[in-house]
Structure 1
Amino acid sequence: MGAVARETTQPCPECGAEIRGDSRFTLWCAACDWNVDPKEPQPEAGRLERAERALARRHGEQLLTEMLSGNTPRPRRDASAVMATALALTVHGLTLALAVAGVWCVVAGWGAAAVVAGLVLLVVAWVLAPRVGRLPDDRPVLLRADAPELFALVGEVARSLGTRSVHAIVVDGSINASVTTYGLRGRRLLVLGMPLWEVLTPAERIALLGHELAHYTNGDTRNGLVVGTAVRTLSLWHHSLRPLPHPSAVEMAVNALYVVPRLLVRGLLELLVRLTSRAGVRAEYLADRLAARTASTEAAVGLMDRLLITETIEILLRSEANRAALGGSRSTREAAARADELWGLLTAYAASVPEHEYERQRRAGARRGHQVDTTHPPTHLRRACLLVGEPVAAAVVPQAPQTERIVKELAVARTEVARRLLRDGLGY
């Protein structure tokens, strides 16, 4: 997948219009949409994922319709959010009940069997208990002293949003970005996927930072300590109660016993998803609008377009990892040089993507409802939301000297991430 354009021309098989394009990408007709989306839709992983995507799409369309009619979504704690919190607290209450029952069985003096049962209950309660996040030890972690200019930029974006900055930044090989918390004090953590960061312009990077930091201000309950950890607990229950494959006679009986509890847990999970979906979609729209106010509407829309080519970026990275594996072992110097070449290849490819390919991706995304993940509204709806009303100018403008210093601060981390991508692929 090279970065050199290969222009080609042919008539459209459907309407006869002339098609001018780049043979590196899908050839399609802008006049009649012939071949605009030749890829077969991928099957969803399961019922819960299908429900999440469907809800995100429906609520995304509803909220966009509201905005087009003049209503602006605002962060608020509605009845669904209150019910979701109550349900999450109930889930945690059950975990606490298991712990109390375990302690009771151990200290009540009812014999060895009761002690064993109590210990089992305590282990289960420990597994299901809410976890405080930690800084990862398998990815580069940057503190303020490691990257003062990057933290200065993040701090400027945070101030423009009226929120606090982050305490640490993790750099990894995902084509994504996110925010979370770690430690008992709830310190803020920003996760930057270097492949996404590298293909963005300086203004689009500010839009990305604005979107992620906006989640601290817009009332998204899905990733909070109470609701987020309850989803994790229910997911663990659902996974633990899955039917045993190729069961024996005894295991068939166990599978039968699992049916009702598994249905109950799945029902609770789906209910929690339904209760938080609309608020989560609203939070994404709000984060996009705040990103536009921070970096400009143009930069935020550009970020949406870049998200549409993440699949081709993933293909390129996997291809390069396969090539590196076929090349065998290399010296440390050769590995470092190959890692640096990866980012040059990636940025050159992203810069070479023509506008007609972005337009095809936008039309195809609208047809099949392209989403970053199961919780985000479709990307074409997010883009349409940004284009509602008058464009806004940037509150934070990239400065070339600062951008160059940030590149130097990230040099060690980006080399390490590239080496891991080439060695382990996207799943590292």
Structure 2
Amino acid sequence: MVRSSAGVLGRMWQGMAQRESARLRDAFVERAVPAPSARAALGQALAVLVILVYAALSAVGLWWALVALGLWGEAHVFVRLLCALGGVGLLGFAWVARPRFPAPWGVEVTAEQAPQLHALVAQVAGALDVRAPVRIVLTPEVNAFMARTGWRGTPTLGLGLGLWFGMRPQERVAVIAHELAHLRSGDPTRSGVVAAALNVLDHAVSVLTPDAWMEYQAEHLQAVSNLMSRLMALVPLGVYSLMLNLVGAQQQAAEFRADLLAARVAGSQATAHALDRMYLADLLDSALHKQWQRPEAPHVFAELRRMWDAASPERWAKAREEGQARNVRLDASHPPTADRLQVIGAWPREAQIGLSDKSSGWLDVELGPFIPVLERAAIDDYRVRMGG
């Protein structure tokens, strides 16, 4: 009976997610800039509450510490001892759980090392009317990202060489444009109070969850303490999940907006093709295995490009079907790829910025010196994951 009830609730929740996803997609198909949902406002309010609770705990911890030190009123020695223990605990928790936005991992490529790449990124930023990223970093992944680091939100563009070398020239413009578009797409999880609240909750869960060593060493009292910590961690974990579900539509709407802005700069066709190629992003592992065991291509990223180009229409069709079959999630950062392609197709645009094969080739030459170290990092990571 319990299993049946859970199944019913699960199907109800999944049905709601699918309806919300379809509503959001249709809104962008009918109107490129739909109004935000009321649920997003609840997510913002919850984020403010999280920050206020965090500030209150920090203030109480500081107050108790002052009482313990005799700097705030008169108190019995036993009360001061309790305040010392509580103050240290709360202030320690506040320090570890503080919101922070470290720089993402990647090998930085400067304007001196890759002047044409930086010039292209600046050109795309100008077309989007956004600030060009302060840093550009390279990773070996089939991915690209736009991150804001530090309290000032310094923009950093990340380009995965697996994605870069797998894309055709105009698709590369689309990738850059999509990521830079996030600087104005309104994703609440990338900056502002929602991002800060999620950051606090994430660190709070980490602080309260016992690690493997604590579990291994646990005896009777320690086991009870670990259990209590795990139960306490459920509170920030639940709030974290709730907040993502509340702002999920707004977060996915930001992806639709970034797609449409990218299409305005790179053209709808190139933007759709770049997105479609991500269906076979998992071929990177196959390329890593091939390059590790029987290398034939100049590097693993060229091998991935070869695999993408050699994939049969049936393989692409199967990958698309599998992608469309995945369950929609309200807390997912991206809407279904099929929905994104439908929205892009509903608003056809010609490219504002073009990238020729020759210019694209020069960009590859600039990035050439970074390939060996990133290829080695990718292969080493793959070997660890494969147990070898």
Residue 237 of structure 1, CA deviation: 2.8
Residue 397 of structure 1, CA deviation: 0.6
Residue matched to 1:59: 20
- Contact kept? 1:63, 1:73, Cα under 8 Å: no
Residue matched to 2:370: 413
Matched, 1:355 2:313: yes
Identity score, percent:
27
In the alignment, the residues of structure 1 paired with residue 142 and residue 87 of structure 2 have an alpha-carbon distance, to the nearest angstrom, of: 44
- Contact kept? 1:144, 1:167, Cα under 8 Å: no
In the alignment, the residues of structure 2 paired with residue 310 and residue 200 of structure 1 have an alpha-carbon distance, to the nearest angstrom, of: 11
Distance verdict in 2 for CA 1:143–1:175, change over 3 Å:
same
2:204 aligned to which of 237, 241, 247: 237
Residue matched to 1:13: none
2:272 aligned to which of 286, 296, 301: 301
Q: State the aligned residue count.
A: 360
2:285 aligned to which of 308, 314, 323: 314
Residue 412 of structure 1, CA deviation: 1.6
Residue 248 of structure 1, CA deviation: 4.9
Distance verdict in 2 for CA 1:184–1:423, change over 3 Å:
same
Unpaired runs of at least 5, structure 1: 1-49, 325-336
Residue 363 of structure 1, CA deviation: 2.4
Residue matched to 2:60: 101
Residue 176 of structure 1, CA deviation: 0.9
Matched, 1:388 2:352: no
Unpaired runs of at least 5, structure 2: 1-10, 71-76
- Contact kept? 1:369, 1:379, Cα under 8 Å: no
2:49 aligned to which of 90, 104, 107: 90
In the alignment, the residues of structure 2 paired with residue 56 and residue 144 of structure 1 have an alpha-carbon distance, to the nearest angstrom, of: 44
With 340-349 and 121-130 compared, the bigger mean Cα shift is at 340-349
Distance verdict in 2 for CA 1:144–1:245, change over 3 Å:
same
1:114 aligned to which of 83, 96, 109: 83
Residue matched to 1:368: 326
In the alignment, the residues of structure 1 paired with residue 290 and residue 61 of structure 2 have an alpha-carbon distance, to the nearest angstrom, of: 51
SS at match of 1:170: strand
- Contact kept? 2:285, 2:382, Cα under 8 Å: no
In the alignment, the residues of structure 1 paired with residue 12 and residue 202 of structure 2 have an alpha-carbon distance, to the nearest angstrom, of: 15
Residue 208 of structure 1, CA deviation: 0.8
How well do the aligned residues superpose, as a CA RMSD in angstroms?
3.2
Higher helix share: 2
In the alignment, the residues of structure 2 paired with residue 98 and residue 141 of structure 1 have an alpha-carbon distance, to the nearest angstrom, of: 38
Residue 232 of structure 1, CA deviation: 2.5
Residue matched to 1:192: 159
In the alignment, the residues of structure 1 paired with residue 305 and residue 171 of structure 2 have an alpha-carbon distance, to the nearest angstrom, of: 14
With 161-170 and 349-358 compared, the bigger mean Cα shift is at 349-358
Within 5 Å, which residues of 2 pair with 1:321-336? 321=292, 323=293
Amino acid at match of 2:194: V
Q: Normalising to structure 2: TM-score of the pair?
A: 0.81
SS at match of 1:425: helix
Residue matched to 2:96: 127
